[in-house]
Structure 1
C-alpha cells in the first residue's frame, strides 16, 4: 500500500505545486505580510485538496489502498502544514546555510532542496498511512 500512497501523494504534490499554483502565490507566499500568509495558506490548501482527492480516488480504484478518516485527515494536515512551513523559504535557506551548502544556495540550489523537503514530508505521510 505504501507505494500506491506515495505515488498518489507525489502526483498530488506536482499538480498542486506547478499547474495548481498561481503566479501570485509563487511571488508572495514567503512574504511576512498578510498577503504573504494568505498566498502561502491558499497554496498549502491547494495541496491538501488535491492530495485528498487523489487519495480518495486511489481508495476507490486501487484494491491495495484503504484509508481511515482520522489518519487520512492527520496525514493531509501534515502535508498542508509542512508545505506551508517549507514554502516560507527561510527554512530552506537556513538549512543550506548551516549544512555546508552556501555555494549551492548561491547557484540556484534552493529550489532543489525545497522539492526534496516536500518529498520527504510526503513519504512520511505515506508511511504513516500505510502503517495504520
Structure 2
C-alpha cells in the first residue's frame, strides 16, 4: 500500500487519539487541508467524520490511536482511516430498520467507492474515494 500512497501528489496524514475528540479533530484538520488544496470538502468531510467516529467507537483499543490519511492526485481524492481492530471489519450497509449504524450507508451514498483492507496486523484500513473530475476540477 505504501507504493500506492507514494503515487498521490497531495498527502495529509495525522495520528489521533481514538476518542470522540480525536474524531472531531480528524474532520476539522482534513477539511482545512482540503480547502488549502482547493478541493471541495463538504462530502469528504462527512465521510471523514463517519470513518473517524467508527474508528473511535468500534476500532478503539485502549492506548492505541487511529490514523487518517487524505490523498489526492489529479483524478482521485482518497480517504483512509486505519484503526487497531483488524478483527472488526465493517459489514456492508443494511437498509433495514434499526436505531443506529447508518454511517456506512452515508459513506456509500457520498463516495464513489469504499472498502476495507487488512493489515498490518492487528490493524485495518477503511477507505473511500471520490472522483475529482466530476467535481469540476
Q: Which is higher, the Rg of structure 1 or of structure 2?
A: 1
Q: TM-score of the superposition, structure 2-length normalised?
A: 0.43
Q: Of the two structures, which has the highest relative contact order with CA contacts closer than 8 Å and spacing of 6 or more?
A: 1
- Of Structure 1 and Structure 2, the greater helix share is in 1
Higher strand share: 2
TM-score by length of 1: 0.44
